[in-house]
Amino acid sequence: MLPGSKSLSNRVLLLAALADGPTRLHHLLDSDDVHHLRKALTKLGVPIQEQAGVITVGGGGFQRPAAHLFLGNAGTAFRPLTAVLSATPGEFVISGEPRMCERPIGPLVDALRQWGAQIEYLGQPGFPPLKITGRKLTGGPIRVDATLSSQFVSALLMTAPLLEGPSNLEVVGELVSQPYVNMTLGQLRQFGVRIDHSDARNYQIHPQKLQSPAEIMVEGDATAASYFLAAGAIGHGPVRVCGAGSESVQGEIRFARLLEEMGAEVKWSPDWVEVSRAPDRLLQGIAKDLNDIPDSAMTLAVLALFSESPCEIRGVGNWRVKECDRQQALYRELRKLGASVELLDDGLRVESPFKWKAARVETYNDHRMAMCFSLAAFGPTGVTISNPDCVSKTYPHYFSDFEHLSRA
């Protein structure tokens, strides 16, 4: 069973805190990113209880008008909470790990200031940490540049219903990771919020109260699924992952379709996916724009080590502002293993090694670097992963689950 989706977990946790009435959250992810948000919400006076693995969030909004909040490197917590706090009367400081303070937040702050938000940069302009003087906001028309992150759009959509007047949100620039915005809209609907939109760039939101749906089951993490599904394609399988399938609300589940294109056999159920590959069938490289699924695109970059022809990945320029500069990190570490790698403006071209090399792969304290490079263990020379504990950000037990799969 896959761990709960990080993106879904932090969305429903925050929405449950803002809703009228308690919400019971089942299968919430147990990881660093979610712990940071839980601690922050507790500091803000939100009652949260855990019993038998079920998290009950009391709801009713934030009860404390001042707090200093530390959110680690959790973008799914930092960006939405910045927006919500700007519309919450009080004085707040939010900070994070050094890498979080290198990840841009300027486009979101610029958009919030159009609503009248009072936000001060405490370090380099455009980046955390932030001082927020929250107050009631009246809404109105705003524009946000979503070229770097769809989280800016999601943060504004989650905040707009709390404002005192109607809002019109226009998305400018190239919108990355559109499926994550769709996910946010779906979670808002679960809490009774209606947002009108004719396309992915224009949204009309009226003031609304969030209503608890009472119970929410968090589906399994589709990006985490990509590592095991790729293993099924490399090692012939079959490998079945449970918790996310054909009815998943996560765009990253599309990775399984890529495996089909490369020559793997994929079976689907509403809540599971299974991958295998005939021994006489080789994996073929593909060229894709993966703007919609930048996290699983990393898995494809490492899977290219095992394909007969090169893989070309485009549309992932925002790799540079993730937990590390993922474009440079993948480029360096894939070359250590013997791959031929070309840096593209917005991605990579990867050709499998003529001769594999044994290597120690650096993870740059990035959970996804550690997890996707675990697949190199299926190569002829093996691989050593530096700082494997960085997976605690989203999947603390990843390597024990991966070891179990490898021995199956």
Q: Which residues are catalytic?
A: 295
Is 378 within 8 Å of 235 (Cβ atoms)?
Answer: yes
Reduce the DSSP state of residue 181 to 3 states and report it: helix
Which of 4, 63, 50, 62 has its CA nearest to residue 24? 50
Is 386 within 8 Å of 360 (Cβ atoms)?
Answer: yes
Residues 17, 19, 24: CA angle, nearest 5 degrees: 65
Cα dist from 88 to 84, 105, 188, 200, 284, whole Å: 7, 19, 19, 27, 52
Residue type, 103: R
**HSE, side-chain direction, 13 A CA sphere, residue 216:** 31
Which of 236, 288, 296, 285 has its CA nearest to residue 265? 236
Is 64 within 8 Å of 43 (Cβ atoms)?
Answer: yes
Cα dist from 323 to 123, 129, 318, 349, 368, whole Å: 19, 16, 11, 21, 9
DSSP structure string for 109-135: HHHHHHTT-EEEESSSTTSS-EEEEE-
Is 88 within 8 Å of 66 (Cβ atoms)?
Answer: no
- The residue with tokens 């994996």 is 283
Burial 229-261 (b: 16+ CB within 10 A, else e): bbbbbbbbbebbbebbbeebbbbbbbbbebbee
Q: Which two tokens stand for residue 190?
A: 């679960």
Cα separation, 115 vs 163, in Å, equals 9
- The residue with tokens 């703007």 is 291
Reduce the DSSP state of residue 255 to 3 states and report it: helix
Adjacency order of strands within the sheet including 118-121: 66-70, 90-95, 130-134, 118-121
Is 166 within 8 Å of 185 (Cβ atoms)?
Answer: no
